[in-house]
């Protein structure tokens, strides 16, 4: 028995309605790519760098995350943690786009982390740069009572000139990384030489733009659009990665900075913009003075 | 297909269409995120081969020390302003100076850093006296980055030192920061007096450096540093200098300043000095200290820079003047006494101290008989006989020549035996004051009362050569000393001079005086004269002249204490006041002294110190006299004497208190009335005791007296070392009765105590040390309490002395009281 024509009509209408509803529902409920945002602020030391690595690594593995906008507000920190953060961003960038927005300052180790991004935005008044390294002066080799050791540098790690040379090497690596990353920027390649970079200047955002240390002046909205474009998504969600991934980021606050740097070993290399001392106050200044003058208690200029 | 099946198919199809968009969208999302194409940038090549440990090169050969009889003037390093350097950083410089026969000496501040208010950089007490002492025999001074301000008075001492030929090395290093801006200002405060300005910058070179941008190569070497041209010298954190200076070392074109932007070619080492303060060419300023220290001094040719600095410091040629005594003396010094002065115990004690002073500085003092000293017109003097014999022995073959003589004599003897006075334009004369003069000059009555008729005949020849002497007029130098057969003119003995006579008259009598070319006549009895005469053959005589033995004692005391503050000074002459107080001849009863029926009431019984037997029997007035030597006490000083008195009263004694500020110093008459005298200074600053007081104390002991000296500046028994802080004391077992019952074998004192003069370390066999400074104290192990017990010279009495080189009230109340009880038992109850 052949169906009647009206019945066929009703079936077609039903199917069209289902399709329409499906389209409407899919538009509303189907998963869309995520542009994740994350903010790194404070000192770059092992705990904070580790938290940020966890977030970046989770974002890299999450298929919904199409790209990341990383907001940086940091004076830097210890050299190794800063380099690790740089490596984490560089690795993520191999799979997903990451754009950095400098909020306030990305100096020293903070800038080191930023250069791994696909693109760097900064505000005109942001502080950018301060490329360089410092460390407290290590002690000369000495015989420590009640301690037996097997070599002249077992306890100290090297001679004074070893430390001086190695400090210079860490700076050279920093400068080389900046040259390597920024010289290849498709948006605004670097326009200053190695010598000037090594002077450790801090530039304003608009100066940094002119020198090719950042790619554009702008903020989060610009960065999100750029990341989406780099990721090739038009429809996307903007999600805070710490909420989306359930991985909180707890910045190292000034008092933790104080505690952390109090335990800084003599000879530990720091990529740290020392201007932050003024933000913390006299108590920290005294501690900083103690760190910077390794054996000040002996009244000596050089330990 | 039935209708049911068909309907089911349609519904299934509808559901599929319903889900399809969701599925397609989800699939598209995955597809789109994989569309990202990362920029391939590669990796930076950062691998670096570690530098191997460098092969060691031969260390510089150790220099041989020059053969000298006397060590050259030391280089003094200022650490007294809490300079932020450590003595270990001067090791390389010290070794280099040793090659010149010069020692490095650190001038430190005994105050612990923890006790210093670091927020008040001008708050350090004036140390000019200590500095003057340090520089007296020094050749150079090194000042590196002081933390505290130099006082104007201290800077004045340095200016005088440099004007005398001393060298000054000023170093301001930018990597000795601690208190930014402040230390530099402090050094400039000193440096500006010599035309040097250190800039608050540091120099750097980004293109050509020794592993760090602050390790800059020096490029230009000029003037005295020209010999460094072509050598590689690197400074490790250096600042630039400017001012009216002679640049020695400059940086190259690539070196820039952190502060003085836009400039290059900075001076980092310079010779400076101003003609206004006679310092031209005697000041070396450097902007880096590291280059003189290990390990930096061993890099490249930096050791040549060290040699340059050491050569500069070693080239000091001090123009030693009389005030620098004994720095201008050679290694062997002869001492001879002119005339026939009767030498008493206090005088010999002064001579002994003079000998110790010379020995401390590496010199020897040889007593020469007047007959062994032959003064001629050409050779001035030479040691004969014993000295000559000594010099001929093999062991003494290298002994230094005897070129220096200290001649101690009364004016009369000096005029009779030498031409010292006439060469200096001085002659003895008499003046007879007119009534007008006496009415305005109150000194006249004093002197009329001290000249005995027995000495009058001697004055008759004053102003003319005595019969037994011959004046050599050739060359104007020292003439012939008395020949053995010459008969000295009688001179008044001290006893004669001191005994008041009954021939006093209101009629003005002649007064002895020194007639000089540069001043009105100087009253002879009021004047001490110290002369220095340079003689041919690099010989010289230091003449110590006075009116009598007491004056000569005072003169020797001034030499030993180097106390010329109230003297008129010339490079070759020192004219000092001498006041022989009338109280010695006629002491008054102190108000607080208990009057006794035996107290002398007649003047002749109030014999002077130097005369014999006082009329008061020992201990006739009481057991204990506590002398509160409070002449220099301030309102903040607690009285230690009160503590003594209170404890002794608790023991049942009735001590008598004496206050030197109101009562003056007790005389021998006052002292011998008591079995035990406690001379208490406690925490007072103190000042040198008068000779007559020391003599009175010595004679009191000779009579079997018991004496306790107590205080941080003890009137007797202190060493020549500067005062330093005592943090703890350690008891010894050498004399248990004195330390029994004290709370601990190591007693920790309160912090913030003022410094105390260390007691002397050299004591006789009769002396035992009851307490020493503890390990946390400055001058650790120095005696703090010594006790002496011995028979007096006559063998009839036992003298006992306890010297406590700190304030008793620095101990806890319990320990202080126990110590006083122990002293009392040891002194009186055995």
Of A26, A64, A199, the CB nearest to B21: A26
pLDDT confidence of residue B595: 36
Helix (H, G, I), strand (E, B) or coil at A241: helix
Contact criterion met (CB below 8 Å) for B723 and B756: yes
Contact criterion met (CB below 8 Å) for B69 and B400: yes
* Interchain proximity A66–B32, CB inside 8 Å: yes
Chain A CB within 8 Å of residue B1 CB:
no
From chain A, the residues in CB contact with B119 under 8 A are none
**Over 70: is that where the pLDDT of B584 sits?**
no
Question: What would the mean pLDDT of B13-19 be, rounded to a whole number?
Answer: 89
Distance from CA of B10 to the nearest CA of A (A): 7
**Angle, alpha carbons A232-A233-A237 (nearest 5°):** 145
From chain A, the residues in CB contact with B30 under 8 A are 63
pLDDT in tens, B782-814: 889 988 887 766 666 777 889 899 998 899 888
Interface of B with A in 263-322 (CB under 8 A): 289-290, 293, 295
Distance from CA of B94 to the nearest CA of A (A): 17
Mutation pick from A31, A175, A299 vs chain B, by most beta carbons of B within 10 Å, is A299
Buried-state track B213-224, b at ≥16 Cβ within 10 A, e below 16: bbbbbbbbbbeb
From chain A, the residues in CB contact with B206 under 8 A are 195, 198-199
Interface of B with A in 700-719 (CB under 8 A): none
| Six token digits for residue B283 | 């000041």
Chain A CB within 8 Å of residue B72 CB:
no
From chain B, the residues in CB contact with A11 under 8 A are 6, 10
Helix (H, G, I), strand (E, B) or coil at A71: strand
* Interchain proximity A63–B3, CB inside 8 Å: no
Contact criterion met (CB below 8 Å) for B731 and B644: no
Q: Residue B185: which pLDDT band, with cuts at 50, 70 and 90?
A: low
**Over 50: is that where the pLDDT of A53 sits?**
yes
pLDDT in tens, B61-95: 776 766 666 667 899 999 998 888 899 999 999 99
pLDDT in tens, B255-268: 999 999 889 999 99
* Interchain proximity A233–B32, CB inside 8 Å: yes
Torsion B747-B752-B753-B756 (CA) sign: positive
Distance from CA of B257 to the nearest CA of A (A): 13
Helix (H, G, I), strand (E, B) or coil at A232: coil
Of A22, A66, A296, the CB nearest to B17: A22
The residue with greater pLDDT, A150 or A123, is A123
Distance from CA of B134 to the nearest CA of A (A): 23
pLDDT confidence of residue B522: 83
Q: How far is CA A40 from the centre of its chain?
A: 7
Contact criterion met (CB below 8 Å) for B632 and B686: yes
Q: How far is CA B349 from the centre of its chain?
A: 21
Find all residues with CB under 8 Å of B502, minimum gap 6, and list them.
none
Please state which of the ranges A84-93, A281-290, B159-168, B181-190 shows the lowest mean pLDDT.
A281-290
Of B22, B36, B41, the CB nearest to A180: B41
Report H helices in B341-486: 345-360, 386-392, 411-417, 420-423, 435-440, 443-448, 456-459
With DSSP H G I counted as helix, E B as strand and the rest as coil, what are the percentages for chain B, rounded to 5?
Answer: 30, 20, 50
Helix (H, G, I), strand (E, B) or coil at B94: helix
* CB-defined contacts A:B, below 8 A: 144
Say what the alpha-carbon torsion angle B692, B694, B699, B703 is, to the nearest 10 degrees. 140
Mutation pick from A8, A9, A13, A18 vs chain B, by most beta carbons of B within 10 Å, is A18
Query: What does the DSSP 8-state code read for residue A30?
Result: S
pLDDT confidence of residue B393: 44
* Interchain proximity B21–A302, CB inside 8 Å: no
From chain B, the residues in CB contact with A64 under 8 A are 29, 33
Q: How far is CA B597 from the centre of its chain?
A: 48
Contact criterion met (CB below 8 Å) for B190 and B170: yes
Please state which of the ranges A262-276, B181-195, B423-437, B736-750 shows the lowest mean pLDDT.
A262-276
The residue with greater pLDDT, B114 or A35, is A35
The residue with greater pLDDT, A98 or B723, is A98
Share of chain B above pLDDT 90, in %: 24
pLDDT confidence of residue B654: 87
Average pLDDT of chain B to the nearest whole number: 77
Q: Residue B699: which pLDDT band, with cuts at 50, 70 and 90?
A: confident
* Interchain proximity A33–B177, CB inside 8 Å: no
Of A32, A159, A300, the CB nearest to B86: A300
Of B6, B22, B293, the CB nearest to A29: B22
* Interchain proximity B85–A31, CB inside 8 Å: no
Question: What would the mean pLDDT of A230-237 be, rounded to a whole number?
Answer: 90
Question: What would the mean pLDDT of B695-709 be, rounded to a whole number?
Answer: 82
Q: Quick one: closest CA in B to A66, which residue?
A: B33
Interface of B with A in 93-132 (CB under 8 A): 113
As a whole number of angstroms, the distance between CA A235 and CA B439 comes to 120
As a whole number of angstroms, the distance between CA B729 and CA A240 comes to 70
**Over 80: is that where the pLDDT of B374 sits?**
no
Q: Quick one: closest CA in B to A181, which residue?
A: B41
Question: What would the mean pLDDT of A186-198 be, rounded to a whole number?
Answer: 94
User: Which residue pairs from B212-215 have beta carbons closer than 8 angstroms and sit at least 24 positions apart in sequence?
Assistant: B212/A164, B212/A167, B212/A168, B213/A198, B214/B175, B214/B238, B215/A164
pLDDT in tens, B122-148: 778 889 989 998 998 899 999 998 888
pLDDT confidence of residue B194: 96
As a whole number of angstroms, the distance between CA B324 and CA B313 comes to 19
Residue A9: exposure state from Cβ atoms within 10 A (0-12, 13-18, ≥19): exposed
* Interchain proximity B33–A66, CB inside 8 Å: yes
* Interchain proximity B41–A184, CB inside 8 Å: yes
Q: Quick one: closest CA in B to A196, which residue?
A: B206
Find all residues with CB under 8 Å of B275, minimum gap 6, and list them.
none
Which residues are bridge partners to B632 per DSSP? none
Query: B647 φ, ψ to 5°?
Result: -65, -40
CB atoms closer than 10 angstroms to residue B354: 22
**Over 90: is that where the pLDDT of A49 sits?**
yes
From chain B, the residues in CB contact with A199 under 8 A are 206
pLDDT in tens, B548-579: 888 898 898 888 887 787 888 777 888 888 87
pLDDT in tens, B465-510: 333 333 333 333 233 232 333 333 344 433 333 333 333 334 455 6
As a whole number of angstroms, the distance between CA B26 and CA A33 comes to 9
The residue with greater pLDDT, B736 or B493, is B736
Q: Residue B325: which pLDDT band, with cuts at 50, 70 and 90?
A: confident
Share of chain B above pLDDT 70, in %: 77
Question: What would the mean pLDDT of B165-177 be, rounded to a whole number?
Answer: 89
Contact criterion met (CB below 8 Å) for B143 and B190: yes
pLDDT in tens, B537-548: 777 889 999 988
Length of chain A: 303
Query: What does the DSSP 8-state code read for residue B209?
Result: B
pLDDT in tens, B632-688: 888 778 888 888 988 888 888 889 988 888 888 888 878 888 889 999 998 888 777
Chain A CB within 8 Å of residue B31 CB:
no
Chain A CB within 8 Å of residue B32 CB:
yes
Buried-state track A143-178, b at ≥16 Cβ within 10 A, e below 16: eeeeeeeeeeeeebebbbbbbbbbbbbbbebbbebb
**Angle, alpha carbons B483-B487-B488 (nearest 5°):** 100
Chain A CB within 8 Å of residue B793 CB:
no
What is the DSSP pairing of strand B234-236 with strand B215-221? antiparallel
Distance from CA of A91 to the nearest CA of B (A): 10
As a whole number of angstroms, the distance between CA B312 and CA B96 comes to 11
**Over 60: is that where the pLDDT of A248 sits?**
yes
Please state which of the ranges A234-248, A282-296, B279-293 shows the lowest mean pLDDT.
A282-296
Q: How far is CA A146 from the centre of its chain?
A: 43
Question: What would the mean pLDDT of A113-136 be, rounded to a whole number?
Answer: 94
| Six token digits for residue B667 | 């005389």
Mutation pick from B39, B177, B180, B207 vs chain A, by most beta carbons of A within 10 Å, is B39
């Amino acid at each position: 028995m052949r169906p009647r024509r009206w019945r066929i009509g009703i079936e077609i209408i039903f199917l069209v309605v289902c399709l329409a509803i499906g389209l409407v529902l899919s538009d509303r409920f189907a998963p869309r790519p995520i542009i994740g945002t994350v903010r790194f602020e404070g000192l770059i030391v092992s705990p904070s760098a580790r938290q940020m690595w966890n977030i970046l690594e989770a974002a890299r593995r999450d298929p919904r995350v199409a790209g990341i906008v990383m907001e940086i507000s940091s004076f830097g920190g210890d050299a190794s943690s800063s380099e690790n953060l740089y490596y984490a961003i560089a690795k993520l960038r191999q799979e997903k786009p990451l754009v950095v927005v400098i909020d306030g300052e990305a100096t020293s180790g903070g800038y080191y982390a930023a250069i791994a991004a696909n693109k760097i935005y900064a505000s005109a008044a942001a502080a950018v740069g301060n490329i360089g390294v410092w460390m407290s002066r290590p002690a000369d080799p000495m015989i420590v009572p009640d301690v037996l050791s097997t070599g002249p540098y077992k306890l100290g790690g090297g001679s004074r000139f070893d430390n001086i040379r190695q400090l210079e090497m860490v700076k050279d690596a920093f400068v080389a990384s900046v040259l390597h990353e920024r010289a290849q920027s498709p948006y605004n390649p670097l326009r200053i030489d190695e010598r000037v970079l090594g002077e450790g200047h801090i530039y304003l955002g608009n100066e940094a733009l002119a020198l090719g240390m950042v790619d554009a002046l702008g903020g989060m909205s610009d960065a999100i659009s750029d990341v989406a474009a780099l990721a090739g998504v038009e429809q996307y969600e903007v999600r805070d990665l710490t909420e989306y991934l359930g991985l909180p980021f707890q910045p190292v606050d000034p008092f933790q900075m104080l505690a952390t740097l109090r335990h800084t070993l003599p000879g530990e290399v720091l990529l740290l913009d020392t201007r932050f001392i003024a933000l913390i106050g006299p108590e920290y200044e005294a501690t900083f003075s103690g760190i910077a003058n390794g054996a000040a208690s002996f009244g000596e200029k050089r330990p | 297909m039935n209708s049911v099946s068909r309907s089911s198919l349609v519904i299934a199809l509808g559901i599929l269409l319903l889900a399809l968009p969701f599925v397609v969208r989800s699939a598209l999302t995955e597809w789109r995120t994989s569309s990202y194409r990362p920029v391939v940038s590669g990796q930076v090549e950062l691998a670096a081969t570690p530098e191997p440990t460098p092969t060691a090169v031969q260390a510089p050969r150790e220099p041989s020390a020059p053969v000298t009889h006397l060590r050259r003037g030391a280089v003094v390093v200022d650490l007294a302003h809490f300079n932020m350097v450590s003595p270990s950083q001067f090791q390389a410089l010290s070794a280099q100076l040793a090659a010149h026969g010069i020692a490095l000496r650190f001038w430190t501040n005994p105050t612990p850093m923890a006790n210093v208010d670091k927020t008040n950089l001008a708050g350090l007490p004036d140390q000019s006296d200590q500095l003057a002492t340090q520089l007296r025999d020094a050749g150079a001074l090194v000042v590196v980055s002081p933390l505290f301000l130099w006082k104007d008075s201290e800077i004045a001492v340095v200016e005088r030192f440099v004007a005398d030929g001393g060298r000054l090395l000023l170093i301001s290093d930018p990597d000795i920061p601690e208190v930014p801006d402040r230390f530099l200002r402090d050094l400039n405060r000193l440096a500006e007096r010599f035309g040097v300005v250190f800039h608050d910058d540091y120099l750097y070179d980004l293109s050509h450096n020794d592993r760090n941008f602050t390790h800059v190569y020096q490029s230009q070497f000029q003037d005295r540093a020209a010999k460094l041209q072509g050598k590689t010298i690197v400074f490790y954190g250096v600042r630039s200098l400017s001012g009216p200076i002679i640049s020695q070392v400059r940086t190259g074109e690539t070196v820039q300043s952190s502060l003085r932007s836009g400039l290059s070619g900075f001076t980092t080492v310079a010779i400076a000095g101003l003609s206004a303060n006679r310092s031209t060419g005697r000041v070396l300023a450097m902007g880096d200290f590291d280059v003189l220290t290990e390990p930096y001094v061993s890099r490249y040719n930096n050791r040549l820079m060290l040699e340059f600095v050491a050569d500069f410091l070693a080239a000091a040629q001090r123009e030693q003047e009389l005030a620098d005594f004994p720095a201008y003396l050679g290694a062997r010094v002869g001492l001879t006494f002119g005339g026939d002065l009767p030498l008493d115990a206090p005088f010999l004690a002064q001579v002994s101290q003079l000998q110790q002073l010379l020995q401390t500085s590496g010199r020897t003092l040889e007593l020469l008989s007047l007959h062994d000293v032959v003064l001629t017109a050409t050779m001035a003097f030479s040691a004969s006989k014993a000295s000559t014999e000594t010099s001929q022995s093999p062991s003494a073959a290298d002994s230094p020549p005897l070129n220096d003589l200290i001649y101690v004599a009364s004016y009369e003897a000096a005029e009779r035996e030498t031409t010292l006075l006439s060469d200096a334009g001085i002659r003895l004369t008499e003046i007879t004051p007119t009534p007008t003069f006496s009415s305005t000059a109150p000194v006249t009555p004093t002197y009329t009362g001290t000249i005995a008729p027995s000495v009058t005949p001697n004055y008759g020849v004053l102003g003319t050569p005595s019969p037994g002497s011959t004046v050599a007029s050739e060359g104007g130098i020292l003439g012939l000393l008395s020949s053995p057969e010459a008969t000295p003119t009688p001179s008044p003995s001290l006893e004669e001079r001191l005994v008041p006579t009954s021939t006093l008259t209101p009629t003005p009598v002649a007064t002895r005086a020194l007639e000089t070319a540069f001043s009105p006549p100087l009253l002879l009895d009021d004047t001490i004269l110290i002369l220095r005469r340079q003689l041919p053959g690099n010989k010289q005589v230091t003449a110590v002249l006075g009116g009598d033995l007491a004056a000569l004692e005072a003169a020797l005391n001034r030499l030993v204490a180097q106390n010329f503050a109230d003297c008129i000074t010339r490079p070759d002459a020192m004219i000092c006041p001498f006041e022989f107080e009338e109280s010695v001849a006629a002491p008054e009863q102190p108000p607080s002294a208990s009057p006794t029926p035996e107290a002398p009431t007649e003047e002749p019984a109030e014999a002077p110190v130097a005369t014999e037997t006082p009329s008061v029997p020992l201990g006739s007035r009481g057991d204990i006299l506590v002398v509160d030597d409070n002449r220099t006490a301030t309102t903040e000083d607690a009285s230690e004497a009160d503590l003594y008195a209170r404890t002794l009263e608790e023991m049942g004694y009735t001590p008598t208190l004496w206050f030197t500020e109101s009562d003056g110093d007790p005389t021998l008459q006052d002292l011998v009335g008591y079995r035990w005298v406690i001379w208490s200074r406690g925490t007072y600053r103190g000042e040198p005791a008068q000779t007559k007081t020391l003599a009175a104390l010595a004679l009191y002991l000779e009579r079997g007296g018991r004496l306790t000296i107590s205080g941080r500046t003890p009137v007797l028994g202190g060493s020549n070392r500067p005062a330093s802080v005592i943090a703890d004391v350690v008891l010894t077992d050498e004399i248990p009765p004195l330390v029994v019952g004290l709370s601990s074998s190591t007693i920790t004192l309160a912090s913030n105590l003022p410094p105390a003069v260390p007691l002397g370390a050299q004591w006789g066999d009769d002396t035992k040390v009851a307490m020493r400074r503890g390990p946390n104290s400055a001058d650790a192990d120095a005696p703090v309490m010594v006790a002496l017990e011995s028979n007096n010279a006559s063998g009839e009495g036992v003298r006992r002395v306890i010297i406590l080189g700190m304030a008793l009230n620095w101990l806890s109340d319990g320990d202080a009281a126990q110590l006083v009880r122990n002293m009392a038992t040891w002194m009186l109850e055995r």
